Structure 1
Amino acid sequence: MSSEVWEHFSVYAKDPNYAVCKYCKQNISRGGKSQTTSAMKKHLKKHPVHVRAASRSVSSSNEIIGENVAELKLVETETDSSSKESQPGHSKSIVHQTQPTLKDFIAKREKFKPGDTKSANITKLIGKMICLDRQPFSVVEDKGFNALVDHLEPRYAMPSRKYFANKVIPSMYAETVSSVQKTLSEAEFVSVTMDLWTSTANDDYLGVTVHFIDRDFCAQHICIEVVPFPEISHSAQNICSFLTRTLVQWEINDKVFAVVRDNARNVVAALNLSSFNHIPCLAHTLQLVIKDGLLSSKMVAAVTGACRRMVGHFKHSSHATKVLREAQKTVGSPAHRLVQDEPTRWNSILHMLERLYEQRRALALAATNLALHVEISVAQWELIENIIPILKIFDQATLQASKAGVNSSEIIPIVNSLLQELKKPAPVLSGLQGVKNDLFASLTERYRTLEEEEVYVLSTLLDPRFKGAVFTSKEKLDRAVELLTTAAQKLDLHKHCGVVQKQDGVPIQTGSSSGIWSLYSQIMPERLASIKSDSTAVDEVTRYLRDPTVNPDTNILEYWKTQSACLPRLHKLSKKYLCSPPATVFSERLFSTTGNICDQKRNHLDPERVKMLVFFLNKNLKG
C-alpha cells in the first residue's frame, strides 16, 4: 500500500479485493488479482475538495497527487431537457472532469530539449524585444526578467547574452536583409539620403536610407545601412568610394535617381566625384540662410544673447522659478516654463523668443522681486516682436520639408514663397530691413539655379497640386515644360492615349489657405500658360498641364496611380521624380536612434552590432 491513493482509502475488512472511500464509504474494486489503484484514482475525482484538504498535510512526495487533483479541469455541460430547467434551483451541472496524468504533469516541468520549436520562438521574441525596446543584451541576465520568463514558461532555459549577441541577432539580421533586398529588387527608381555621424565611443558611421515608390504607388522609406566607416580620413574620395560600395552591395547602384545630402564640403565634393545626381538638404540650407542673414546681425545677436542669459538665470535658480510662477498667476500668463535655445538648432531660438515674449508681463513683475543681472529693454521687446514672424516662416518651411510624405516637388514652392515673403518691407523703424535683404540675398544665391535643374523642375511639374503655377516667369515655365516633354519622349511606351483637342487654360484650385499653403498661394497665378501639341508625348504633357491643379490635401501618389491609362508616360516619370525627399531627415533620424542605442548601458557595443540594431529599429523589423 505504498501508493499515495491510500491516504484516501482503506482495505474493506470483509473482502480485501475492495477498498473503502474515507469520504463517501463506497466500496471500490481493486481489480481482482491485479490489485490496481486505477478505479480508486478515478473515484477520487468526485472528491476534489477533500483531496485538496488532505494534500496540504502530506509530505512532499505526496504533493504531486495533490497538485494533479487540484488541477482538475471541470467541463460544464447543460442537462438536456426542458423538464429539468423547470425544476426549482436547477443549474448547470458538472458531468465531466479531466485530470492530467503524472507523466503530463512532470513533462510540464522538464526543460525544453535542444531544437524545440517553442523554445526557438521564445528566443527569437526575446531577440526582437532587445531590438525594438532598445534593451542591452545583459537584460537576459537580469533576475527580474528571468523570474518573469520562468513563471510564464518554466520549461524555457534562458540562453546567455553572448548567444543573443553572436547568434540570435545576426541570424535575424540575415533574414531581414534578405527580405529588404527582395523589396528593393522590385523598385524601378530610388533616391538616397546619406549622413555621417560619430558616436560617443568615437566610432564613425555612414547612414543611408533608400526611398522609392512601389508598384502600388505607395512611398517606401527603408534604412539599408548604418555602416561603420573604417577610413581614418573623411575625405571626398573615401566617402564617395564607401557610398558606392554600399549601393553596389545592395544592388541598387544603377537605380539611384538622386542623392539628398547635407552641405558639408567633403560630402559635396564626394558626390561631385560620383555619377549620381545630388541635391542639398532643404532644411540644412535654410539653416545656413538664417545664419547668413539673421544670426550674423549684431543687433539680433545682442537681443538673443540677452534672452539667453535671462532664461539661464531662471533655469539655474529655483527661487527665481518660484517667483516667476507666482508672477504668472498674478498677471494671468500661461504657467509655461522658459525655453533655452540649442546652439545646433536655429529654430530653438524662435521657441525661446516666443516663450519670453509670451511671458514678458510676468517677467517684468518677477524682476521687481529679483536681483536680475540682465534686462530686456522696451526697444528690444519690440525687436523680438518683429523677429518672431521672420523666423516663423522659415520654421514653417523647415517643418514642411521634414514631414513624412513630402518630396522634392515642394522645394520650388517653398523657396519661391520665402523669397516672395522676404520682399515685403520690414516694419518701419524696426531696423530689420537690412536683415530681410540679407536673408533674401543668401536664399537667392543658394538657389540661383533652382528653376533650371531637372530634379527640382520635373518633380514640381509632376506634382498635380502645383504643375507650372509656382514658377517665377513664363520663360522658366516654358523651359521646364520642354524638359518634361523631352523626358516623356525618351520613354519607350507601347500604350498611350489618342490626341485630345486643344483647350483654353483652366483656373487653378488653390484649395486651403492655411499653413504652408498660405505662403504658396501668393506665388500661384490664376491660369496656366497654353502649350501647343505636335506629338504624342507633347500631347500628354499638354493635357496634363491644362487640367486644373488638384486640392492641396490630395494624395499625389494616389492621383498618379489612377493615371496609368491616360497619361502612361507621365505616370512612369512620376515614379522617378517624386521619390526624393527634400531633406536628409530620414538619415539624421538614424543617428538619433543610434544615439539612443549607444547609451550608458551599451556604450561598448562594437560597430557591427550597432549596425544590426539600428537596421532593425528603423521599421525593417516588424513588432
Structure 2
Amino acid sequence: MRPGAKKSVVWEYFDKIEDRQVKCRVCKKILKFFGNTTNLQQHIKRIHPTLLTIPIDEPVTTDLEQTPSVINQEAGPSSASEPLYGSDDVHLPLPKPKRQKQMKLFGALNDDLKDSDIEKIDRALVTMITKDYQPLSIVEDQGFIEYSNLLQPKYKLPNRKKLSYELLPKMYTQEVSRLESLLSATDNVSVTTDIWTSDSNRSYVTVTCHFICEEEFFSKVLSTEEILGHHTGENISNILKEIFCRWNILHKITTIVSDNGPNIKCAIIEFLKKHHHPCVAHTLNLSVNDALKNNTEFQCILNKCKKIVGHFNHSALSCNKLKSVQQQMGFPVLKVKQDVTTRWNSTLLMLERLVTIKDALSITMTKIDKAPEFLDASEWGVIEESLKLLKPLEIMTTALSGEKYPTLSTVIPLLRGLQFSLNRMDTTTDICGNLKQSLLDTIARRLGILEYDKIISKAVFLDPRFKKLAFGNDTNANNAQKWITEELTAIVNENSNAEIQEHQHTSVSDDNKGDLDIWSHFDHKLAKAKSLSTPTSTVTVILRQYLEMPHFERKKNPMEFWKKYKSTFPELYYLAKKYLSIPATSVPSERVFSKSGQLTNLRRNRLSPKNLNQILFLNST
C-alpha cells in the first residue's frame, strides 16, 4: 500500500498471515482475503457487531500524525463513496480519525491483559463450571465462545484440555490447601459417607467432614472416590482410610454417620474401629414407610393416586387438557408429581399436589377418554387428613438435614415434639386413626432408642438451649450428665497434670534465681492449694454453674452462647465443639449423590473420576 493511501478501519481487527488469508484478532478465526475487505467487513458485522460505533468501511490514514496531505476520493476500494470534504484535491490538516468504542472489562483492545486479570477470569470460569455443573466442553461451544469474546475480546478461552489438566487442578489444589489449614487447627471432626452409582454404572463413595472452628460451622466435601471391585466391608474401609489419612484426620474422627447398610457399617465398626452413627433421616424414612405399608386401606387410596399421576405423566394430551382447565379457571398451571416408593416424603409431595389441583383435576378427568378411576369425596377426606399427620414428619426431616447449625442435639427434643404432636391430633376417619397409631408405634420402635445413645445425649446436654430439659425422663437426663462428667473429668485431670509439670519446671528455674524472686513463696502456696482441688470437685463446680444458668433461646445459634462463655467454661466449650458439630444425618453425602447426577449425564459422561472428584469438592467450597 502506497504512503498516504486510505486504509479501512476493519484492519484494526485483522492480521495478514498469508497472501490470501487473514486472522481475526478477536476470535482468531482464519478468513480468505482476495484484495478487498468485503469479506472482513461481513465477519465483523456478523460475529462482532458491537465492536464498531462508526461504519467499518470508513477510511483512516496509515500515518495519523501527517499534517498536510492530499485526500483523493479515488483512493481505492476501501474509500467512501463521496469525498470527505467535497473536493477532489483539498489540502487540510487531517484530524485524528475516530476510534471505535468497545465493551471492555480490563482495558482497551490494543492493551494486553495483565496476568492477574487473566487469572481472575480463569478462576471465574472454573467457579462457574463447578458451581453450576457445566460440562468442561462448554469452552468449545460456539455460542459460549462468542459470548465470551463479546464480554472480553482480549481473553482467550482455554480449550477443554487446558481446563481439565491445568485450571481445574490448580483451583482444586488451592482450595485443598485452605481446607487442610482449617482441619489442622481442629481437634475433632465428624464425617458422613454414602455409596452411590452413576448413570454410567460406576460406583462411588463420597465423604464429607463437619467441624466447628472459631464458633463457625464447616461442612465440606472431602472426596468422591470410585469403588473398584466388590462392595465388601474391607474394600470400603480401605478407601475410607486412605481418604482419612490423606487429610490427616484419622485420629480426629469422633463418629462416622451413614445409612444402615451392612457393608458400610462393617467397614466403619469392624475394620476402621470407629464409632458408627446411623442416619436419623434414614431411620425416620424407614419408620414412615413401615406405617404406610402396614395400612392396607390407605395403600389402596395411594395406588389410585399413583394411577392418576401415572396417566398424566404418560399422556401429553391429558396434560394439555389439565393445563387448559387450570388457565380457564385462573389457577396456576401445575403438573402432577410422581412419588418414589422408597422415599415417603415424595408420597407427601404427590398428595399435596393432588389436593392443590383437585378442582381442575376433577373437571379434566370428565374430559378424558378411558380415564383412570377417580377419587371420591371420602377418599379426598382421608388424603387431606393424612397430610396433617405426615407434615410434622417432613418438618423434622428438614430440620435434621441442615449443615450450618447443630442437628444432632435437636434429635431428642424433635422426637419428643413429634410424638406429642401426633398424640394430640384428632382423626375423623378410621383409616387415618390407624395410620396415626402405626406412625406412633414404628417411631417408638425405631427411634425411641436414640434417647439412650451416648453421643446424642452428650450433644443435647451441651446445647445450652436444652441441657437436661429435653429428655423424656430424669433417668436419661442424669445419664447424659454422668457421661459428660466422665469425659470432662479426664480433660480436667489432663490439664491439671500439665499445669503441675509446668509448675515444677518453673520452680526449678525460680530456685536457680535464689533470693531474687520475692513471689516464689506465694507461688508455692498457690500450687499447693490447687493440688488439693481434685478433678472431680472441679467438674462438679463447672457443671453446677452451667446448669444453673438460664436456658439459651431456642431459636438462637447455641455457638453464640459458647462464644460468650468459652473463657468461663473452656473444657465444656471444647466438648461443645466436638459434639455439636456432628450431623444427625448422612444427607450431606447424599446431596453430593444428587448433584452428581447433573455431572454424569450424556454431555458430561466423559468426566474422569478424578475430574468428578475435583468438581464435587469445589462445588462445596
Counterparts of 2:321 and 2:121 in 1: how far apart (Å)?
55
The alignment status of 1:577 with 2:605, answered yes or no, reads: no
CA contact (8 A) 1:590 1:618 kept: no
Counterparts of 2:394 and 2:94 in 1: how far apart (Å)?
71
CA drift at 1:544: 1.6
Secondary structure of the structure 2 residue equivalent to 1:535: helix
Q: Quick one: structure 1 residues 534 and 617, their matched pair in 2 at CA, closer, same or farther if it must change by over 3 Å?
A: closer
Counterparts of 2:387 and 2:282 in 1: how far apart (Å)?
20
Q: Quick one: structure 1 residues 118 and 293, their matched pair in 2 at CA, closer, same or farther if it must change by over 3 Å?
A: closer
Q: Quick one: structure 1 residues 123 and 319, their matched pair in 2 at CA, closer, same or farther if it must change by over 3 Å?
A: closer
Report the residue type matching 2:568 in the other structure.
Answer: C
Secondary structure of the structure 2 residue equivalent to 1:70: coil
Counterparts of 1:181 and 1:173 in 2: how far apart (Å)?
12
The alignment status of 1:257 with 2:254, answered yes or no, reads: yes
Secondary structure of the structure 2 residue equivalent to 1:491: helix
After superposition, residues 8-19 of structure 1 pair within 5 angstroms as none
CA drift at 1:195: 0.5
Counterparts of 2:220 and 2:554 in 1: how far apart (Å)?
26
CA drift at 1:265: 2.0
Report the residue type matching 2:311 in the other structure.
Answer: H
Question: Which residue number corresponds to residue 537 of structure 1?
Answer: 539
CA drift at 1:257: 0.8
Question: Which residue number corresponds to residue 43 of structure 2?
Answer: none
Secondary structure of the structure 1 residue equivalent to 2:565: coil
Question: Which residue number corresponds to residue 341 of structure 2?
Answer: 343
Secondary structure of the structure 2 residue equivalent to 1:464: coil
The alignment status of 1:611 with 2:613, answered yes or no, reads: yes
Question: Which residue number corresponds to residue 32 of structure 1?
Answer: none
Question: Which residue number corresponds to residue 399 of structure 2?
Answer: 400
CA drift at 1:481: 1.2
Counterparts of 2:383 and 2:375 in 1: how far apart (Å)?
10
Q: Per-residue displacement from partner, 1:500-536 (whole Å, max 9, x unpaired)?
A: xxxxxxxxxxxxxxxxxxxxxxxxxxxxxxxxx9822
Question: Which residue number corresponds to residue 236 of structure 2?
Answer: 239
After superposition, residues 137-176 of structure 1 pair within 5 angstroms as 137-150=136-149, 156-176=155-175
Secondary structure of the structure 1 residue equivalent to 2:201: coil
CA drift at 1:327: 5.9
CA drift at 1:289: 0.1
Secondary structure of the structure 2 residue equivalent to 1:449: helix
Question: Which residue number corresponds to residue 591 of structure 1?
Answer: 593
After superposition, residues 413-432 of structure 1 pair within 5 angstroms as 413-424=413-424, 427=427, 429-432=429-432
CA drift at 1:401: 1.0
Report the residue type matching 2:257 in the other structure.
Answer: V
Report the residue type matching 2:393 in the other structure.
Answer: F
Q: 1:289 aligns with which of 287, 290, 299?
A: 287
Counterparts of 1:54 and 1:347 in 2: how far apart (Å)?
81
Counterparts of 1:398 and 1:550 in 2: how far apart (Å)?
23
Q: CA RMSD in A?
A: 3.7
CA contact (8 A) 1:452 1:476 kept: yes
CA contact (8 A) 2:196 2:203 kept: yes
Question: Which residue number corresponds to residue 30 of structure 2?
Answer: none
Between 401-410 and 243-252, report the one with greater CA deviation. 401-410
Question: Which residue number corresponds to residue 485 of structure 1?
Answer: 485
Counterparts of 1:227 and 1:448 in 2: how far apart (Å)?
35
Q: Quick one: structure 1 residues 489 and 314, their matched pair in 2 at CA, closer, same or farther if it must change by over 3 Å?
A: same
Question: Which residue number corresponds to residue 373 of structure 1?
Answer: 372
CA contact (8 A) 1:203 1:607 kept: no
CA contact (8 A) 1:257 1:576 kept: yes
Q: Quick one: structure 1 residues 543 and 330, their matched pair in 2 at CA, closer, same or farther if it must change by over 3 Å?
A: same
After superposition, residues 170-569 of structure 1 pair within 5 angstroms as 170-214=169-213, 216-230=214-228, 232-273=229-270, 274-321=272-319, 324=322, 336-371=334-369, 372-404=371-403, 405-424=405-424, 427=427, 429-492=429-492, 535-569=537-571
Counterparts of 1:298 and 1:560 in 2: how far apart (Å)?
50
Between 380-389 and 254-263, report the one with greater CA deviation. 380-389
Counterparts of 1:557 and 1:183 in 2: how far apart (Å)?
18
Report the residue type matching 1:608 in the other structure.
Answer: K
Q: Quick one: structure 1 residues 116 and 568, their matched pair in 2 at CA, closer, same or farther if it must change by over 3 Å?
A: closer
Q: Quick one: structure 1 residues 373 and 563, their matched pair in 2 at CA, closer, same or farther if it must change by over 3 Å?
A: same
Counterparts of 1:207 and 1:374 in 2: how far apart (Å)?
44
CA drift at 1:71: 3.6
CA drift at 1:411: 0.9
Q: Per-residue displacement from partner, 1:458-479 (whole Å, max 9, x unpaired)?
A: 1011111211111111111111
CA contact (8 A) 2:6 2:78 kept: no
Q: Quick one: structure 1 residues 615 and 330, their matched pair in 2 at CA, closer, same or farther if it must change by over 3 Å?
A: closer
CA drift at 1:125: 4.3
Counterparts of 2:150 and 2:322 in 1: how far apart (Å)?
52
CA contact (8 A) 1:484 1:541 kept: no
Q: Per-residue displacement from partner, 1:191-218 (whole Å, max 9, x unpaired)?
A: 101111111111111111111000x210
Gaps of 5+ in 2: 8-62, 81-92, 102-106, 497-534
CA contact (8 A) 2:406 2:581 kept: no
Counterparts of 1:462 and 1:471 in 2: how far apart (Å)?
13
Q: Quick one: structure 1 residues 67 and 538, their matched pair in 2 at CA, closer, same or farther if it must change by over 3 Å?
A: farther
Report the residue type matching 2:98 in the other structure.
Answer: A
Counterparts of 1:275 and 1:558 in 2: how far apart (Å)?
34
Q: Per-residue displacement from partner, 1:93-116 (whole Å, max 9, x unpaired)?
A: xxxxxxxxxxx99x938x88xx96
Counterparts of 2:556 and 2:212 in 1: how far apart (Å)?
17
TM-score normalised over the length of structure 2: 0.73
CA drift at 1:572: 1.3
Q: Per-residue displacement from partner, 1:24-71 (whole Å, max 9, x unpaired)?
A: xxxxxxxxxxxxxxxx96575xx9xx99x9899667799xx9997434
CA drift at 1:400: 1.0
Secondary structure of the structure 1 residue equivalent to 2:449: coil
Between 336-345 and 407-416, report the one with greater CA deviation. 336-345
Gaps of 5+ in 1: 8-39, 74-103, 496-532
Counterparts of 1:209 and 1:582 in 2: how far apart (Å)?
13
Between 270-279 and 142-151, report the one with greater CA deviation. 142-151
Q: Quick one: structure 1 residues 152 and 380, their matched pair in 2 at CA, closer, same or farther if it must change by over 3 Å?
A: closer
Counterparts of 2:233 and 2:261 in 1: how far apart (Å)?
10
CA contact (8 A) 2:327 2:333 kept: yes
Question: Which residue number corresponds to residue 48 of structure 2?
Answer: none
Counterparts of 2:202 and 2:353 in 1: how far apart (Å)?
38
Report the residue type matching 1:169 in the other structure.
Answer: L
Counterparts of 1:145 and 1:56 in 2: how far apart (Å)?
42
CA drift at 1:333: 6.8
